[in-house]
Every structure is written in structure tokens, then in C-alpha cells.
Amino acid sequence: MDPVAPQPADQMTLPLALLPIVLLVSLLASSVYLFGADSSYGANQIALVLSACFAALVGRRVGVSWAQAQDGIIDGIVVGLVPILILLAVGMLIGSWILCGTVPAMIYYGVEVLNPNLFYAASAAICAIVALSIGSSWTVAGTLGIGLMGIAASFGLSPAITAGAIVSGAYFGDKLSPMSDTTNLASAASGVDLFAHIRHMLWTTLPSFMLALILFAFLGSGDAAAPREIEQLQQALASEFNIGLHLLLPLLIMLALVYRRLPAYPAIVISALIGVVFALLFQPRAVIALAGGDSAAGAGFALFKGVWISLFSGYSSHSDNQFLNELLSKGGMSSMLNTVWLILCALGLGGVLERTGILRCLLRLTLRGVKSAGSLIAATVMTCLGTNILTADQYISLALPGRMFVDEYERAGLSRLNLSRTLEDSGTLTSALIPWNTCGAYMSATLGVATFSYAPFAFFNLLCPLVAILYGFTHFALKPLESQAEAAPVGTP
């Protein structure tokens, strides 16, 4: 009989486990110091790869072979394949929606409807309502978010604050939607009823979002563009595209597809192809221009070439309005490749850390100082944040701490609903604040703003974990264990 394989999670010691983390933090800090906002364009990836290799070497000290570590890398990357496919599809979507006039129409009509004095708060509220109805923060950012970023640019408003408002609203709605994958995962990982979980989250999410809206309203409009500048922008848009309300139909179709629970990837691809059809029908002049003019083989081939370019390379505006050129020259699958590179490196590191037992060793460390409900909730928040940083995946930051802390909450006399709520308050929300996490990388690539630039303004994502910790230490809105029967799913023994 073959000998029993070593269990690295049991053999890993804390001093060994800390070595790759110290290296990772040092390299990432050096990357940000040397390259600033450009660190995610290669420097961070090197830091993640080197830390993964070092973690594999540390794993050898407890009997983890390179083959096992490599399997961990592969398993870690597999977790992110669906988000990567969605990210590439969003690149296609942005390119085709700009070419077909959907994004230009959103900007054209948005600057007429939205008041720049309340733009940030209104953006957060709009994104919250739509995310609540469809259950996807990524879809909201990749559709409404793109249009709102364009409107903000046309008003001369801060892109960082606008992105923070979009992220805040999108994640608020996502958290409270029964159609959200993370909301379902958090309730499942804790073993509680989905709707009981959502009701219990209202205690932390509503106050946090109201505070965020107040902060966005307080920030005001800054130096908003004058009406004359807005009129010039609309004229430039109308000269390059055939603007009309019918161009908003692809957005409505996409929201309907997601609302009908069609998976995100096919929904986005279908919506991108609908954009292609709309481009051929309503923007033939722009399509031919993107293809480089009339093709020698005929206008039909030029149209085919133009829409194809929009899908893989995005749209390029060459109008006389330089601001409009910068605003609309984006999109395409190729625009997401750097983000995919970052996600692959981060997920590979997370897979090594889990396979070698380093991650579980660090998670056990967080339980040593737990002595009260407040410290338990604070430990949960920090564990979810740390897991988001180390594994670069919000699903792992919900599932792993969820399994780990269930017994601790019961020993503390607390209902599992407190755990499920805290998982979302920290695991779901902080994922968008980390540049190499799949969520932070996606939001940055989609909205065109560096994660560290919008993170200070993602007020809801920042406030909610703090509110959760405050509730823990004040024992406010905590369900005791005797309420567990109410939270147990139907059919649970």
C-alpha cells in the first residue's frame, strides 16, 4: 500500500507561512512606489509570479512537491476562467456598443437628464437599482457604468469619484439581490436561508449606503462643464453617429437577458452581437470609417471588417473634437488582455498558497485573538480581506472563511446569519478594492480608472466592513444562536 501523503496544512508552521507573504507585500509595495498607477501593467504581475515561486519553495519544506504546487496553480486559475471569459466578452461589448451608437446615445441623453450637481449620488443610486434587479455588479459596471463614465467626462467631473460611485451602487444592489451569485454563495457557505440572509444584511448595508450617498452629494459637482461645452459635445456626437433613442435598445435587451437568468457570459456575447447588428443597420458610415474607408472588394466587406475590428480592437474616433476622440477610443477584446494577465498571475499565487497549507495556517492565526463577538466579527472581516488579497478571488474569500468560522460563531452564541452577513460585508465588498483581485481588475479595466484611484471613493465598500465591526463590539443587530432555527434552510436537519 502506498504511504499516506503528507498533509501540508497540518505541517506548515507560522514562520514558514509568513515568508511568502512578507516577500509579496515587499514586492507589491516596491511596485507601487516605483511605477505608481502603472504598476498593474506588468510590475505587479512580476511580484505575484515571484511570490508564487517562492511559496512553492516554502511548500517543499513540508513535503509539497513541485507537481503538487503546479496542480495548485492550475486549480487556482480554473476558478477564474469564467470571470476571464466575461472580461473578454465585455471588451467586445464595449467596442460594438460604441460603434453602434449605444454608448454615444447614453452620453448624449445622459448629459441632458442628469444634474451635474448631484451626479455622483445619482450615479450610485441608478447603479444600485439596476444591480438589485439583475443581481450582477459586473454587468452594471460594464453597461451603465461605461455610459456614466462618459457622461462624467463630458461634465468635466472626476473619473475616480464617478467610478467609486458606480462601484458603490453596483455592489449595494448586487448584495441585496436574490439573483446574485455571491449572495447565494454566502448564504450557502454559512448554511442559512437566502432571504433571511438578505433581510439580516439590511442592518449593515442600508446605513452604509445612505452614508455613501450623503458623501457623494457633499462632494458636489466641482468644476462642471458649461452648457456651451455640453452643446458642443452633443454636436460632435451627432456628427459622428446617427443618434436616437432606439440605440438604447441593446442595453434594455441585455438587462432583460440577465434578468431572465441567462448566464453572464452568453448574455454579454449576445449583447455584443446585437450591437454589431445595430452598427450595420444604423451606423454604416462609422463602420466603414473604422475599416479604413471603402474596401477595394466592396462596401460589404468594409462593413464586415469594421464590425470585426470593433470586437477585437475596439473603436477609434478620429473626429475634430479631441475630447470626443479620447472619450470613445476604447473597447475590444485586446483591451482586456493586460487585466487577464494580472488575474492569471494572482490566481496562480492563490492556488499555491492554498495547496501548500500557507493560507490555512494564516487563517488559523486569526482565531487566536478571538475573545468576544466584536473580535470574532473583526477577525472574519480581516480574514475575508486577507483572502481577497492573497487568492485574488471573491468566491474563495466567501467559501473558505465561511467553512472555517461556522463553529466559532456557534461557540460564541451567535446565529450563522451574523457570519453570512459579515462574509458579504467584507469578502464581497473588499474584492473590488484590490487591483489584482478579479473584481478590482475587472472594474478598473471596464471603467478605465486605476483601482487605487477609485478605491478611496468607493464609500459603500469601505464603510460596510467598518459598520459590521462596530455592530460586533456594540452587540447591535446581532442575532443570538437561539434564532438559528429561523435561519436554517427548509429541509435542514
Region 315-330: mean pLDDT is 81
Nearest one of 101, 119, 99 to 110, comparing CA atoms: 119
pLDDT at 468 over 90: yes
In the structure, what pLDDT confidence band is assigned to residue 328 with cuts at 50, 70 and 90? confident
**pLDDT value, residue 486:** 44
**Helices 373-391 and 459-474, packing angle to 10 deg:** 150
Length in residues, the chain: 493
Q: What pLDDT does residue 7 have?
A: 59
Is 120's pLDDT higher than 90?
yes
Average pLDDT, the chain: 85
Q: Give residue 296's pLDDT.
A: 53
**Domain boundaries along the sequence of the chain:** 82-178+204-335
pLDDT digits (tens, 9 = 90+) for 438-448: 899 889 988 98
For residues 282 and 286, give the distance between their C-alpha atoms in angstroms, rounded to a whole number.
9
* Structure letter (DSSP) for residue 480: B
Cβ–Cβ < 8 Å for 319, 325: yes
- CB 305, CB 295: distance < 8 Å: yes
Q: Which DSSP string do the residues of 311-334 spell out, in sequence order?
A: HHT------S-HHHHHHH---SGG
pLDDT of 8 above 60: no
CA distance 402 to 380: 9
Cα gap 262→93, rounded to integer Å: 16
Residue 179 above 50 pLDDT? yes
Tell me the H-state helices in 192-336: 194-219, 227-240, 249-259, 264-282, 284-290, 299-312, 322-328
Helix (H, G, I), strand (E, B) or coil at 414: strand
Greater confidence, 120 or 393?
120
Provide mean pLDDT across the span 358-387. 86
CA-CA distance, 22 to 1, in Å (whole number)?
Answer: 40
Give the pLDDT confidence of 230-242 residue by residue, as tens digits. Answer: 777 788 888 889 9
- Contact between 435 and 218 under an 8 Å Cβ cutoff? The reply is no
Asked whether the predicted pLDDT for residue 37 surpasses 80, the reply is no
Q: What is the pLDDT of residue 491?
A: 31
Q: Is 108 exposed, middle or buried (0-12, 13-18, 19+ CB in 10 A)?
A: buried
Q: What percent of the chain is modeled with pLDDT above 70?
A: 92
- Rounded CA-CA distance 322/302 in Å is 25
CA 229, CA 154: separation in Å to the nearest integer? 8
pLDDT(157) > 50: yes
Please report the pLDDT score of residue 221 as a whole number. Answer: 59
For residues 55-62, give the mean pLDDT: 92
pLDDT at 226: 60
User: pLDDT by residue (tens digit) across 266-298?
Assistant: 888 999 999 999 999 999 999 998 988 755 556
**pLDDT beyond 60 at 483:** no
Upper half-sphere CA count for residue 295 (Cβ side, 13 Å): 14
pLDDT-based confidence at 489, cuts 50/70/90?
very low
Over residues 90-119, mean pLDDT: 86
Question: Quick check: 244 pLDDT over 80?
Answer: yes
**Residue 109 pLDDT level (bands cut at 50, 70, 90):** confident
Predicted confidence (pLDDT) at residue 12 exceeds the cutoff of 90: no
pLDDT confidence of residue 133: 67
